[in-house]
Chain A
Amino acid sequence: MKSVLVANRGEIACRVFRSARALGLSTVAIYSDADAGAAHVEAADRAVGVGPAPARESYLRVEKVLEAAREAGADAIHPGYGFLSENAEFAQSVLDAGLTWIGPSPHTIRQMGDKQRARQIAAEAGVPVVPGSARFEPGEIEGLAQAAEAVGYPLLVKAAGGGGGIGMRRVDGPEKLIDVVVATQSMAQKSFNNGAVFLERFVPKARHVEMQVFGFGDGRAIHLFERDCSLQRRFQKVIEEARAPGLPAEVADAMAAAAVRLCEATAYSGAGTVEFIVDAESFEFFFLEMNTRIQVEHPVTEMITGRDLVAMQIELARGTLGFVPQNEVAAHGHAIECRLYAEDPAKMFMPSPGPLTTFRPPSGMAHLRVDSGYREGDAVTPFYDPMVAKIVVWGESREVARLRAMDALRAFSIDGIRNNRHFLLACLADDDFAAGDVHTGFIDANRGRLLAA
């Protein structure tokens, strides 16, 4: 391996280039017309244009990306996150073109991309999945009470033909179970022409906790501890931390063991993330999905473990990575990542593209890492995602990291676009956050208080 093309843009392209260069590799960027002068283009040794601004006409065009690799003489491709990173056909095309694919096998990507199949593989590997029942056809109520006991309360009665929350009803105990099931069956028959329903456990106060894993492709795998990514708006993560605050050690250990079992069972290769939903009260955890790529929030894991995950990905693909035994991976202190977005928190987090007239990340602070694909004077265009920077800090304890994150955000000068800097500060300063009382409903439930802060 001599030259790595990153099939991506922005901060993740810049970040992959850093590790590639440190490993003695030359770097190739691709860019759309909107990104011709972007930071990631400047950061690479070579750069090739791949088409017009809309991603589907440039960054998502497999042929264009492969052509760019040929043109620039790249012999390996790193996909970053988003775009083509979890596209099995792209991974296969890269291999078919005789290039090195820096990621899991196309087979693994395909398996995990099919959410039903992934759930089944997880269950077979002994990873807990959200308890659910068999279907109950219209009029069928026999065995319902036992099925509900097995699933556990509170539960949702879901129409088999529904989706996106339609045809879903919550039941908190056995008293109303039969009435709700019969009513949902009848409603589902009318709405979806399919009266079948099933039961699924509902987690009223949930946390999103995910396990960073790394597989060596030969059935051996390790974990690099968990991240808590509960602070979200519109299902997009806003603040992530490692390790997960207040998660009992035995729960974290069980979750890690489950995630490693899944990687071993699939002979997983490279960096991956196993996502879990965790009941914030009981700490029961259930498999959500597995992401077969590097995650946006991987730096918090790097901060607490001192490992370079992207370098590990590249070295595994290159064949120069030695096995890392689990007992050599240790976690120290606490790390927090804040995602700075071009958006307006007061207007339901609507996007706010525009010119970065002022853009000065803090510098000279200890234990601070800022990953960004923007420079002062750059425009944030409407074509791609709204993240302009990741502010990542480390501290000996969560409290030290929290205060350090606030210092870093206060010292971040940004102007020209509406952004969530102040909102991030309000989240960090919030008493509940400070106490570690995080859950996926945190931002929605406290929006008024956070906006007023």
Chain B
Amino acid sequence: MAKVDIKTEITGNVWKIEKAVGDNVAEEEVILILESMKMEIPVSASEDGVILEILVAEGETVTEGSVVARIEV
């Protein structure tokens, strides 16, 4: 069991959170969707796991490189 940080590659606003703590996620599965400069950009799981923490709320602004969620793999 290891904790893995899920980071955003871009600065944007959290538009929609698709997963909740305790949900199973597969690699590439979308955890949340950011909105930046009229584009929707999904943030996905880097590997299979379970959502441990969601660190942002809808409407919140996140900056490039920040951790938005943690999964246990």
Contact = CB atoms under 8 A, between A and B. Distances in A.
Interface of A: 54, 342-343, 347, 350-354, 382-386
Contact of A350 (B9, B13, B35): B9
Interface centre among A342, A352, A382, A386 (most CB of B within 10 A): A382
The residue among B35, B38, B64 with the most chain A CB atoms within 10 A of its own CB is B38
B9 A351 contact: no
B37 interface: yes
A353 B38 contact: no
19 contacts: A54-B13, A342-B37, A350-B10, A350-B41, A351-B10, A351-B11, A351-B36, A352-B11, A353-B10, A353-B11, A354-B64, A382-B13, A382-B35, A382-B36, A382-B37, A383-B13, A383-B37, A385-B37, A385-B38
B66 interface: no
A384 B37 contact: yes
Contacts of A342: 37
Contacts of B1: none
Interface of B: 9-13, 35-39, 41, 61, 64
Contacts of B35: 382
Nearest to A343: B37
A357 to B, nearest CB: 15
A354 B37 contact: no
A353 B9 contact: no
B13 to A, nearest CB: 6
B39 A351 contact: yes
Contacts of A384: 37-38
A304 B44 CA distance: 48
Nearest to A349: B39
Contact of A347 (B9, B11, B13): B9
Sorted from nearest, which 3 A-B pairs have the closest CB atoms? A351-B37, A382-B36, A386-B37
A164 to B, nearest CB: 15
Given A351-B36, A351-B39, A353-B36, A382 B12 contact: yes
A200 B45 CA distance: 40
Nearest to B59: A54
Nearest to A384: B37
Nearest to B11: A353
Contacts of A383: 13, 37
A343 B9 CA distance: 12
Contacts of A343: 37
A385 B36 CA distance: 8
A39 B37 CA distance: 18
A113 to B, nearest CB: 19
Given A54-B13, A351-B11, A383-B37, 12 more contacts: A342-B37, A350-B39, A350-B41, A353-B36, A354-B11, A354-B64, A382-B13, A382-B35, A383-B13, A384-B37, A385-B37, A385-B38
B61 A382 contact: yes
A418 B23 CA distance: 35
A19 B20 CA distance: 52
A284 B50 CA distance: 55
B10 A352 contact: yes
A178 B14 CA distance: 48
Contacts of A354: 11, 64
Nearest to B15: A54
